[in-house]
Amino acid sequence: MKKNSSWPVWAVLVVTLVLSSVCTAQTQGDESEDKRWFAIDSLNTGLGDVPEDVGRMSPREMVRSFLAFTESEDYAAAAHLLNLNDIDPGEQQAQGAELAKQLSEVLKRGEWLDASNMSGRQDAVIEDPSGQNPQAGEPQRNIELAALTADDQAYDVRLGRYRVGEEDPVWLVMPESVTFIPTLYEEYGPSMLERYIPERLKASFGMLKIWEWLAIPIFLIAIGTVGVVTYYFVGLVARILPSGVSTIFADQIGVPMAMIVMSLVTQMLLDYVVSFSAIATTTFRVLLISIMAWGAGTIALRFVDTIMLRLTRRLVGEIDDTKPKDQRRLLTSLYALRRAIILITVTGVSIYILGQVQLFETLGLSILASASVLAVLVGVAGQTVLGNILSSFQLSLAKPIRIGDLVVFEGEWCYVEGIFYTYIRLRSWDERRLIVPVTYFTSKPFDNLSVKSTKLYRSLVLTLHLSADIGLLRDKFLEFAKEEENVVEHHKLLCYVTAQTGTAQTITCYLMTSDPMAGWTAEMNLREKLLAFIRDNHPEWWPREIMVISHEDIARGEGHGKRSREADSSAEKPSE
């Protein structure tokens, strides 16, 4: 029996692999070509021949040509930089020039274009030396030229790369973006005021037009006048309102309210009366968003401060340690809440501003590209500030001190008057204000005389002659101490001799007082009363110096002293 041959099977496999490779290579080539450009059969057939000075090989060249043609008002040539394939060829020439003119006006007012920011490569390959962009090195066939908003809708003006047959690919405004031009022109076109401006004033002078250099100062003066009027109007309302918390709130929001009204009026004028070039419009837009966010955040913070003031007056009153501990703890928590609201407000306002001015994308790439450098800079430059902020939150949570506590800090008797982000405000006994950084305060030992109770044990010391009657003095001390209103716990009153020398004795009296400052007053009163009693009744108790005029024992009598002197003189005689 003959052995079957397997060569037909191998032949079929080889042919299949070859065909698969060819198809795969062709498919990959088609996909690669699709990533580089859009293949089309024809382009702007109704516009005629393309002028020689039209540059369309790269996005940068295309934008530069478009700006040059529209600046010289050659809108027919600028129309060759738009993809008008969705428009009937018979209408392309007329509509193309008008659309180019409208797009020029939109770009002048909507977004400040700089050709140098566009890619100069024909394939618009993304170049990223840092390696952070995952699409780096890949060609692009459509890129964003501008992102604008009209009627609360977002519109992108994009450039696309098109190739007709075997011709060189060119960059044009994409047909989808061309259809948005009339809508964007209604939003960003010339304003009502510009229709009455003479043509000679519409010439460019630097970054702005001549009429804009004249109009912007007048515009700013008008807006400033609106702000001043608003400020005084809010002040008038504050004076009309009955005195109280509402008056305080109205008096504090004059400036932020004026800024908000100025921003609203400016936005209204830019929308309906006058519109400037893109560089001025973009600047005004960022300022308006920032001012609006700052004003709203400031008013919210003033509202919280007003509520805190009302609660302070209603629940706590004067900030000292005579108030119940729960009320002082509440006030401390309110200060912590205020700092949390400030932090949330600042974070929210910052995010809102960045989102509105569309800086997230740029900032995100920059931060990713230099994350280590930023971390070092923030760590070094913001170490003190961040340390103070964290320490202030630590104080508010752990509460080793509360608003109104009496503390002894570096020898100063002070009330804690406020705990803020970066510092603590202390009110000294003589009404001075000590401003202490939070980290410095927490790194130093301090006495909190109000941490558990406001009561304080005090003592007064008297130095009297040895002949003073301690029993009588003790009775007087107890009598005077019980008459003092701020002396409490009378069973703890003590009076003892605590020291003695050859000429005097030290008497110490102890008393419990209701609070430290009242205790100081009670101690002074008791000392004055005891001294007055001794002065009026027993002046012999005052300590006095004793001078020794003889070292003889006078207690043994005069004769003994005489005999002693005779003995001494006989002893001094020389023997015969």
Which tokens is 165 given?
């047959």
Which stretch of DSSP H or E encloses residue 154?
strand 153-164
Which stretch of DSSP H or E encloses residue 147?
strand 142-150
Q: How confident is the model at residue 272 (pLDDT cuts 50, 70, 90)?
A: confident
Per-residue model confidence as pLDDT tens digits over 424-455 = 888 887 888 888 888 888 888 888 877 666 67
Which tokens is 100 given?
């180019």
Q: At what angle do helices 278-311 and 325-356 cross, to 10 degrees?
A: 170
Cβ atoms within 10 A of the Cβ of 109, count? 25
Nearest to 92 by CA among 106, 103, 71, 76: 76
Q: CA 343 from chain center: how many Å?
A: 7
416: β partners: 426
Does the pLDDT value for residue 573 go beyond 70? no
Provide the strand spans (E) within 447-553: 447-448, 456-465, 487-488, 494-500, 504-513
Does the pLDDT value for residue 237 go beyond 80? yes
pLDDT at residue 550 in the model: 62
500: β partners: 505
Under DSSP, the state recorded for 250 is H
Q: At what angle do helices 59-71 and 89-110 cross, to 10 degrees?
A: 90
For 548, how many CA atoms within 13 A lie in the half-sphere containing its CB? 7
CA distance 508 to 500: 12
CA distance 271 to 109: 11
Asked if 396 contacts 411 with a C-beta cutoff of 8 angstroms, the reply is no
Which one-letter amino acid corresponds to residue 323? K
Per-residue model confidence as pLDDT tens digits over 160-194 = 999 998 888 999 999 999 998 998 888 887 776 77
Per-residue model confidence as pLDDT tens digits over 9-43 = 445 444 455 444 444 444 344 434 467 889 998 89
Residues 6 or more apart whose CB falls under 8 angstroms from that of 29 comprise none
CA distance 400 to 442: 10
DSSP 3-state helix, strand, coil percentages of the chain (rounded to 5)?
55, 15, 30
Q: What's the whole-number mean pLDDT along residues 511-538?
A: 88
Does the pLDDT value for residue 117 go beyond 80? no
Which tokens is 70 given?
């529209």
Does the pLDDT value for residue 559 go beyond 90? no
Q: What's the whole-number mean pLDDT along residues 531-535?
A: 92
Per-residue model confidence as pLDDT tens digits over 455-474 = 777 889 999 998 899 999 99
Nearest to 119 by CA among 169, 62, 157, 80: 62
Residues 6 or more apart whose CB falls under 8 angstroms from that of 173 comprise 81, 82, 83, 103, 145, 157, 158, 159, 160
Asked if 104 contacts 146 with a C-beta cutoff of 8 angstroms, the reply is no
Under DSSP, the state recorded for 574 is P
Length of the chain: 576
CA distance 383 to 57: 51
Cβ atoms within 10 A of the Cβ of 514, count? 19
Q: CA 137 from chain center: how many Å?
A: 39
Mean pLDDT of the chain: 76
170: β partners: 162
Per-residue model confidence as pLDDT tens digits over 391-422 = 776 776 667 787 778 888 888 888 888 777 77
For 23, how many CA atoms within 13 A lie in the half-sphere containing its CB? 6
pLDDT at residue 248 in the model: 75
CA distance 107 to 116: 16
Which tokens is 371 given?
């994350």
CA distance 493 to 458: 10
CA distance 352 to 205: 34
Lowest mean pLDDT among 101-115, 514-528, 531-545: 101-115
Question: How many percent of the chain have pLDDT more than 90?
Answer: 15
